[in-house]
Amino acid sequence: MDDAAVLFDKAFRYLTGIPAQRVHQQIGEYFSVPSAEGCPAIQTPWGDEFAPAIKDCVRCAETWLGGSSLPLWWALSQNRKRHRPGDFQEAFEAGFLLRLQQTLLNLREAAASRPTSFDV
């Protein structure tokens, strides 16, 4: 999963002509969305300078997952505005979606592990 995020970023930058300055960082320099609910941490293609944006997005995603009455798209679009345009907003968006992905994967695994017996 970590390698996929880095490769996607590299391919996107290549196709759009954006220099891939951070793609060549050492693996240890990337910031990860922390583990949650039994799902492992997911590495992002962003370095430590983006840690505040990624920490904020995780907090926002967890607030929404915790029962926020806001629509999901609104929570994402309004909270991303708190970060500088460009890479900081992209890091926020990706981290927000990665936290949701972790939760969805956990729910899918939990559903798959439940017994399917219809015994009464």
pLDDT digits (tens, 9 = 90+) for 7-65: 666 666 666 666 555 443 444 588 999 998 788 899 999 999 999 999 999 999 999 99
With 0-12 / 13-18 / 19 or more C-beta atoms within 10 angstroms meaning exposed / middle / buried, residue 102 is buried
Helix (H/G/I), strand (E/B), else coil: 42: strand
Confirm whether 49 is domain-assigned: yes
Question: Residue 103: phi, psi to the nearest 5?
Answer: -65, -45
Overall domain count for the chain: 1
CA pair distance 94, 45, nearest whole angstrom: 10
Structure tokens at 104: 């969805």
Higher pLDDT, 2 or 89: 89
Using one digit for the tens of pLDDT, what is the confidence trace for 70-115? 999 999 999 999 999 999 999 999 999 999 999 998 888 888 888 8
Confirm whether 117 is domain-assigned: no
The pTM of the full predicted model, rounded to 2 decimals, is 0.70
Find the domain containing 83 and state its range.
2-109
Confirm whether 45 is domain-assigned: yes
Confirm whether 77 is domain-assigned: yes
Confirm whether 61 is domain-assigned: yes
Q: In sequence order, which residues have a C-beta less than 8 Å from that of residue 38 and are 6 or more positions away? A: 106, 109
